[in-house]
Amino acid sequence: MHHTPLHFVGNEPICAHSCAAVLRRLLREQEAGTLPEPPMPTTDTPLEGAADMLGVATSHPTWMVLRWLQRWGQQETLSLLEHNNRCLCLPGHMLECGVHAFIIHDAP
């Protein structure tokens, strides 16, 4: 059996084609609105399980979500996680006038 070291996997041509195919499928499913929703915790879900579910659903580390759940509870933590995933943008006038300060605000 042939084994490829992990750091060489990205250099395999078949890997690049497979990754591109997976990304194209995800894009098609996202545009069609058919991507499955990740499971969300219920009030009966243990704290560690809730942290794992919310971390996966919102792309946050489980340890951080667990800490926030312990401090602020599920509803406040979910609000914070969703806020962290909002799109941010630079004001257009800053880009046009060449201002190099990076002031970021919430997108409308």
pLDDT, tens digit, 9 for 90 and up, residues 17-35: 778 888 888 888 888 988 8
pLDDT at 66: 97
Contact 47/69 with Cβ under 8 angstroms? yes
Q: Are residues 58 and 71 in the same domain?
A: yes
23 within some domain? yes
Structure tokens at 76: 């406040």
Q: Are residues 82 and 33 in the same domain?
A: no
Number of domains in the chain: 2
Give the range of the structural domain holding residue 46, as residue numbers without chain letter.
Answer: 42-108
* Backbone torsions φ then ψ of 11, nearest 5 degrees: -85, -10
Q: Are residues 51 and 95 in the same domain?
A: yes
Structure tokens at 75: 């509803």
Evaluate if residue 54 carries a pLDDT over 80: yes
The per-residue pLDDT of the chain, averaged, comes to 77
